[in-house]
Structure formats: C-alpha cells, structure tokens
Amino acid sequence: MTPAAILESALYVDDLDEAEAFYGEVLGLTRITKAEGRHVFFRCGDGVLLLFNAKATEVPPPADARLPVPPHGARGPGHLCFRTAGEEIEAWRRDLARKGIAIEADFEWPNGGRSIYFRDPAGNSLEFAEPKIWGL
C-alpha cells in the first residue's frame, strides 16, 4: 500500500495574526479554523495548510484531551510549494510584487517547468511551481 496524496502540510510561525493576514489576504486562502495562540488552518485546493505556533505544539496534550494529538514542532524556516499552472506563475509574480513581496528566485528547471520563490513573514520559503518539475 502507498498513500494516495498529502492531505495536510504544516509550517511553524512566530506570529499567528501576521501569518493569518499573509496567507488569507496575500495568497487568498480560505481560513478553516483558528485557535488563538496555537494555530490557524487554511484550505488549499484539495488539501489543508496548518500554521502552528511551535511553542504551543511542543507540549504533550493533557491526559483527558478531546483530541490527543502528539507533540510536534520545528524551528527555522520550512518550505512549501504550491502547485500552479505555468500560465499563472507570471500573474502570481506581478501580484506578489504589487503587494511588496520580494521574489528570491525565478527560473526554469532543467527537465521543464518554472518556479518562483518568496518568503512568508515568518521566513518560511514558499514556492509556486508547475507540476511538471516533478514529472506530473
């Protein structure tokens, strides 16, 4: 057996309000839920983007927790790539520039497909890329 797809991906941020504004207003994702000081979750296509305050997720849940999610967390910048059609990448580049978001890299991969890289307010590396960079 093999997994069919990735259902959710997590990034860790220092400021949930700032992250919520960035992912909601700059990237246009729809917020699903928010727990003040702990997390904010967004819908992204068929998947979910989880943004956590790492300090709040490193502690084990109480013994009587309704949802006994094990501790997790990461330090330092993470990476997430958004699947994007080739004809949309230039529009994203212009939109991000209009919103004051610097593009760190913009290139064509040797096997085909374009990527642009930029950062969220927490320093996470984000990418818009064509699926063909992975032969999809």
Q: Please tell me the pTM assigned to this model.
A: 0.93
Residues 7, 53, single domain; the answer is: yes
pLDDT in tens, 24-50: 999 999 999 999 999 999 999 999 999
* CA distance linking residue 91 with residue 27, whole number of Å: 12
Phi then psi dihedrals of residue 87, to 5 deg? -70, -15
For the cut 90, the answer to whether the pLDDT of residue 54 exceeds it is no
Q: Which domain holds residue 10?
A: 1-57
pLDDT on residue 59: 84
Residues 119, 91, single domain; the answer is: yes
Residues 39, 86, single domain; the answer is: no
Residues 82, 131, single domain; the answer is: yes
Whether residue 67 lies inside any domain: the answer is no
Instruction: State the CATH number of the domain containing residue 99.
Output: 3.10.180.10
Residues 82, 52, single domain; the answer is: no
Residues 50, 83, single domain; the answer is: no
Given a contact cutoff of 8 angstroms between Cβ atoms, the answer to whether 116 and 108 are in contact is no
Given a contact cutoff of 8 angstroms between Cβ atoms, the answer to whether 68 and 61 are in contact is yes
Alpha helices in the chain (DSSP H): 16-21, 54-57, 86-98
Whether residue 33 lies inside any domain: the answer is yes
Cα-based angle 119, 28, 12 (whole degrees, multiple of 5): 45
Whether residue 4 lies inside any domain: the answer is yes
Q: Taking the mean position of all CA atoms in its chain, how far away is CA 91?
A: 19
**CB neighbours (10 Å) of residue 28?**
10
For the cut 90, the answer to whether the pLDDT of residue 73 exceeds it is no
Domain count, the chain: 2
Residues 92, 41, single domain; the answer is: no
Whether residue 63 lies inside any domain: the answer is no
pLDDT on residue 61: 83
